[in-house]
Structure 1
Amino acid sequence: MIVSRPTPQSVHSDQPDTTPANPPQPTVPTRRAGEEELAQGQHRLDPALRMSVQRPAPGVVVVSMNGDIDLAAAPRVTELIRQRLTAAALRTLIVDLSMVSFIDTTGAELLLKAQRRADQRGIDMHVVPGQGCVPRLLDLTGINASLTCHDSVSTALAHAHHQ
Structure 2
Amino acid sequence: MSMRTLRVDSHVFSDSIVIEAHGAVDVSSSESLEHRLRSALMASSGRRKLVLDLSRVTFFGTIGLQLLIWADQECRERDVTLWVVASERPVLRPIEVAGLTGRFHITATVPPVNEHAVAEQP
Q: Is the 8 Å Cα contact of residues 53 and 64 (structure 1) preserved in structure 2?
A: yes
Q: CA deviation at 1:42?
A: 7.0
Aligned residues: 114
In our comparison, the structure showing a higher alpha carbon Rg is: 1
Output the CA distance in 2 between the equivalents of 1:77 and 1:111: 10
Query: Structure 1 residue 157: deviation in Å?
Result: 2.0
Paired residue for 2:26? Answer: 70
RMSD, matched Cα: 1.9
Which residue identity does 1:67 align to in structure 2? G
Moved beyond 4 Å, runs of 4+? none
Q: How does 1:143-154 map to 2 (within 5 A)?
A: 143-153=100-110
Shift in Å at residue 145 of structure 1? 1.2
Unaligned 5+ runs, structure 2: 115-122
- Tell me the CA shift for residue 91 of structure 1: 1.9
Give 1:157's aligned residue: 112
| TM-score, reference length from structure 2 | 0.84
Asked whether 1:104 is paired with 2:61, we answer yes
Q: How far apart, in 2, do the equivalents of 1:130 and 1:96 lie? A: 10
From the two aligned structures, give the one with the greater strand fraction: 2
Higher relative contact order (CA 8 A, sep 6+): 2
| Counterpart position of 1:122 | 79
Task: Look up the SS of the partner of 1:157 in the other structure.
Answer: coil
Q: What is the Cα deviation at residue 77 of structure 1?
A: 1.2
Q: What percentage of residue pairs aligned between the two structures are identical?
A: 24
Asked if the contact 1:98/1:132 (under 8 Å) is kept, the reply is: no
